[in-house]
């Protein structure tokens, strides 16, 4: 348990902020003299709560809760996505912002960590209402975002169109064409090739490297994927191309299983028709809880936080867990996976491909010179492989999990910057 407690956070033992705090506590013994600064990581630098009122299509007015949290900016401007989900809370956004600080430092991007969100079910809004909500939210958080301050991007339920509205709103308010204020934009607005699939690609690249190191052959390996959005689907396609069998997929529309492997080329075109994988005819339906019992070699939780519980960690047959989602594994479940000899590639490195290509996009916007998709993918591969190697060496040296090693590498970078900058005033 962490010593520090913040008056504005309710204590949820399995909540994401508590999960993050216990991950930080585990790294303290490896921080040496920098441990003196660790309290910095246990509270966000700045948290903004905004009211987002919009006129609905029927003339009524609705209010939504919006957040933007800047967890740490010692190494550079804030960076991290914006999530639209009915369960968004300040506590969740704080944890997601903190994980962005760790992630950005783990891959050595010149960014701090930030995250935003609106507590809303976007499926209940028309496209015009979604646009009005996005624009009002952007305007409200406009006082703390900017190309050199804090750069939002897509996350759960947000996409390039939403980034285009954010870029336009910020640009209108500042009298500029500020392409660098958000990443994950459409290509015509300064977006980067390869960005949409980058997070899934990073999951594949780190998974490929981890599999190689534990002698797990991807050819014929059985893969189970939870969450089939931008991250899970892109990762599954790459694993299938490498010869793996996608034996189970779960999303909000249901769970499908096929031990011979789900045909990706058949599945992908049906996703828009059914709103997810649930209606696919080329696999059997299963109960959602049965997903965790499907025989697999690689498990990819790519949905939301807290999915890998103690109970599920005891049951999984996977040898390798690749965290496509942010915060999918509870700390107690993490210990069980480690005791069972199951290797976890943690979120803070595994899903860092998205923000890495966001960084490429931001650099391209400033230089107004754009790279080919091959260049993007090659650079992404190189950065992810290099970062994972550094983390692996740290884990070997101290005999610690990859998660604690990633935190060790990242926290050392953040707290060194913090110390060198010194306390103001
Ligand atoms: N939302 C993504 C994440 O959790 C990407 C953030 C970004 O590109 O800034 O890493």
CA 355 to ligand 1: nearest atom: 8
How far is ligand 1, taken at its centre, from the CA of residue 354, in Å? 6
CA 359 to ligand 1: nearest atom: 8
35-40's contacts with Cβ under 8 Å and 24+ in sequence apart are 37/415, 37/418, 37/419, 38/411, 38/415, 39/4, 40/72, 40/74, 40/414, 40/415, 40/418
pLDDT of residue 2: 44
Residue 4 has pLDDT above 70, yes or no: no
Q: Do domains 44-177 and 198-350 have the same CATH topology?
A: yes
Question: Other CB atoms closer than 10 Å to residue 117's CB: what's the count?
Answer: 28
How far is ligand 1, taken at its centre, from the CA of residue 61, in Å? 31
CA 96 to ligand 1: nearest atom: 4
Question: pLDDT tens digits, residue range 245-295?
Answer: 999 999 999 999 999 999 999 999 999 999 999 999 999 999 999 999 999
Residue 164 has pLDDT above 90, yes or no: yes
Q: Percentages helix, strand, coil for the chain, rounded to the nearest 5?
A: 50, 15, 35
pLDDT of residue 203: 98
Q: Does the beta carbon of 326 sit less than 6 angstroms from any atom of ligand 1?
A: yes
Average the pLDDT over 140-148 and give the result: 98
pLDDT of residue 102: 98
Task: Name which residue sits closest to atom 8 of ligand 1, judged by CA.
Answer: 355
pLDDT of residue 46: 98
pLDDT of residue 10: 84
Question: pLDDT tens digits, residue range 113-123?
Answer: 999 999 999 99
Instruction: Establish whether 281 is a catalytic residue.
Output: no
Question: pLDDT tens digits, residue range 342-384?
Answer: 999 999 999 999 999 999 999 999 999 999 999 999 999 999 9
Boundaries of every domain in the chain: 44-177, 198-350
Residue 206 has pLDDT above 60, yes or no: yes
Residue 1 has pLDDT above 50, yes or no: no
CA 352 to ligand 1: nearest atom: 10
How far is ligand 1, taken at its centre, from the CA of residue 287, in Å? 31
Q: Does the beta carbon of 301 sit less than 6 angstroms from any atom of ligand 1?
A: no
Q: Does the beta carbon of 347 sit less than 6 angstroms from any atom of ligand 1?
A: no
CA 358 to ligand 1: nearest atom: 8
How far is ligand 1, taken at its centre, from the CA of residue 286, in Å? 31
State yes or no: cis peptide before 406, omega within 30 of 0: no
CATH number among 3.40.30.10, 3.30.1320.10, 3.40.50.300, 3.40.50.10860, domain 44-177: 3.40.50.10860
Radius of gyration over every alpha carbon of the chain, rounded to an integer in angstroms: 21
The answer to whether the Cα torsion of 397, 328, 52, 199 is positive or negative is: positive
Helix (H) or strand (E) holding 119: strand 113-119
CA 156 to ligand 1: nearest atom: 1
Q: Which of 154, 201, 324, 376 to mutate to test the pocket of ligand 1 (most atoms within 8 A of CB)?
A: 154
The answer to whether the Cα torsion of 292, 403, 88, 81 is positive or negative is: negative
Per cent of the chain over pLDDT 90 is 97
pTM over 0.95: yes
How far is ligand 1, taken at its centre, from the CA of residue 184, in Å? 9
d(CA 16, CA 12): 8
Is 238 in contact with 268 (CB distance < 8 Å)?
no
Q: Looking at the domain 198-350, which fold is it?
A: Rossmann fold (3.40.50)
User: How many helical (H) and strand (E) elements, i.e. helices and strands, does the chain have?
Assistant: 14, 13
Q: Which of 355, 383, 387 to mutate to test the pocket of ligand 1 (most atoms within 8 A of CB)?
A: 355
Please tell me which residue in 79, 103, 115, 185 is annotated as part of the active site.
115
Which backbone phi and psi does 57 adopt, to 5 degrees?
-60, -25
How far is ligand 1, taken at its centre, from the CA of residue 233, in Å? 16
Q: Does the beta carbon of 231 sit less than 6 angstroms from any atom of ligand 1?
A: no
Question: pLDDT tens digits, residue range 209-235?
Answer: 999 999 999 999 999 999 999 999 999
How far is ligand 1, taken at its centre, from the CA of residue 219, in Å? 30
Average the pLDDT over 6-24 and give the result: 92
Q: Which two tokens stand for residue 6?
A: 């913040």
How far is ligand 1, taken at its centre, from the CA of residue 153, in Å? 6
Per cent of the chain over pLDDT 70 is 99
Q: Which of 20, 70, 153, 183 to mutate to test the pocket of ligand 1 (most atoms within 8 A of CB)?
A: 153
Q: Does the beta carbon of 191 sit less than 6 angstroms from any atom of ligand 1?
A: no
Q: Share the mean pLDDT of the chain.
A: 97
Q: Does the beta carbon of 158 sit less than 6 angstroms from any atom of ligand 1?
A: no
DSSP state, 179?
G
Q: Does the beta carbon of 351 sit less than 6 angstroms from any atom of ligand 1?
A: yes
């Amino acid at each position: 348990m962490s010593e520090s407690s913040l008056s504005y956070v309710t204590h949820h033992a399995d909540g994401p902020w508590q999960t993050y705090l216990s991950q930080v506590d585990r790294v303290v013994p490896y921080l040496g003299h920098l441990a003196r600064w660790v309290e910095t990581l246990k509270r966000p630098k700045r948290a903004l709560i905004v009211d987002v009122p919009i006129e609905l299509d029927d003339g009524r007015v609705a209010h939504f809760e919006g957040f933007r949290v800047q967890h740490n900016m010692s190494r550079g401007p804030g960076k991290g996505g914006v999530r639209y989900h009915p369960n968004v809370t300040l506590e969740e956004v704080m944890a997601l912002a903190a994980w962005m600080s760790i992630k950005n430092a783990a891959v050595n991007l010149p960014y701090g960590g930030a995250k935003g969100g609106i507590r809303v079910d976007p499926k209940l809004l028309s496209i015009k209402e979604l646009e009005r909500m996005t624009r009002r939210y952007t305007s409200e958080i406009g006082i703390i975002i900017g190309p050199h301050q804090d750069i939002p991007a897509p996350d759960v339920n947000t996409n390039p169109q939403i980034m285009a509205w954010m870029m336009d709103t910020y640009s209108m308010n500042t009298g500029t064409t500020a392409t660098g204020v958000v990443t994950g934009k459409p290509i015509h607005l300064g977006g980067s090739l390869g960005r949409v699939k980058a997070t899934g690609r990073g999951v594949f690249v780190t998974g490929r490297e981890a599999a190689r190191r534990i002698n797990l052959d991807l050819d014929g390996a059985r893969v189970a994927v939870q969450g089939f959005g931008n991250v899970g689907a892109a990762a599954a396609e790459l694993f299938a191309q490498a010869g793996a069998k996608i034996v189970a997929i779960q999303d909000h529309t249901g769970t499908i299983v096929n031990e011979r492997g789900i045909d990706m080329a058949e599945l992908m075109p049906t996703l828009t028709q059914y709103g997810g994988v649930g209606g696919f005819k080329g696999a059997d339906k299963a109960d959602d809880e049965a997903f965790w019992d499907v025989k697999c070699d690689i498990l990819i939780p790519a949905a939301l936080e807290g999915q890998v519980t103690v109970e599920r960690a005891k049951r999984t047959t996977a040898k390798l867990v690749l965290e496509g989602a942010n915060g999918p594994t509870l700390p107690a479940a993490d210990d069980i996976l480690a005791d069972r000899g199951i290797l976890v590639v943690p979120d803070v490195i595994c899903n860092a491909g998205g923000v890495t290509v966001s960084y490429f996009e931001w650099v391209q916007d400033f230089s107004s010179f754009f790279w080919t998709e091959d260049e993007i993918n090659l650079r992404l591969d190189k950065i992810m492989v290099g970062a994972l190697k550094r983390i692996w060496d740290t884990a070997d040296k101290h005999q610690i999990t990859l998660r604690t090693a990633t935190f060790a590498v990242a926290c050392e970078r953040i707290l060194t910057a913090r110390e060198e900058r010194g306390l103001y005033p």
